[in-house]
Chains A and B, each alone.
Chain A
């Protein structure tokens, strides 16, 4: 059974750097075709794709947030880490990680983690 779980701070101050960890089980991110992505959702708003890392350590970022995001993986720990710099109140959102499997560049997001709410406030 594949599961993913996000963890990180619930509250960060403006200008700080956010670090989120996605811990997963049931698959290996060193297996060809596997990718993990981060997606966020501000309260009451739509979903926004942020970043993706694949089994070969290729990384892709949202164009609008590219300068602030870094995604990395630790295959031995079954973790994917997302950092976002210079946090602002508009970054308040629930942050999800999700798996893309098979041929991940032609696959939907499934399953998703439960999400973690991050509030940006002084």
Chain B
């Protein structure tokens, strides 16, 4: 199975910061990568798919890049509502889908 490794596992940031989260796949997955945001007690919400396509309704401060094995999620100007846990997920190797371990963004 393809392993997805996110870094860092958690970090603290301030409102207004530019933040970047990295996701690495154990083998090439082309651009079959999604990013989700999850807030406590809530279901994950799709932010980005196909590595860089913003889901409808998601603010433009979120962006994604990468292909193959290395991907990034960037939040250009962190807002208070962005403090959450973020997961990457590959959907290249169906019928087995795998998620990263998550990156928690906390308030500094």
Interface SS of chain B: loop
Instruction: Report the minimum CB–CB distance from B106 to chain A (whole Å).
Output: 14
- Number of B interface residues in the complex (CB < 8 A): 23
Which A residues lie within 8 Å of B87 (CB)?
Answer: 46-47
How many A-B contacts if CB must be within 8 Å? 57
Which B residues lie within 8 Å of A63 (CB)?
Answer: 1, 96
| Contact of B99 with A62 in the complex, beta carbons under 8 Å | no
- Number of A interface residues in the complex (CB < 8 A): 21
Stretch of B14-22, B42-50, B76-84 that contacts chain A? B42-50
Q: A47-B44, A114-B43, A115-B43 are known contacts. Are A109 and B96 too (CB-CB below 8 A)? A: no
- Chain A residues engaging chain B, CB cutoff 8 angstroms: 37, 46-49, 52, 60, 62-63, 96, 105-115
Q: Which 7 pairs show the lowest CB-CB distances between chains A and B? A: A60-B95, A108-B34, A112-B43, A110-B46, A47-B99, A49-B97, A105-B94
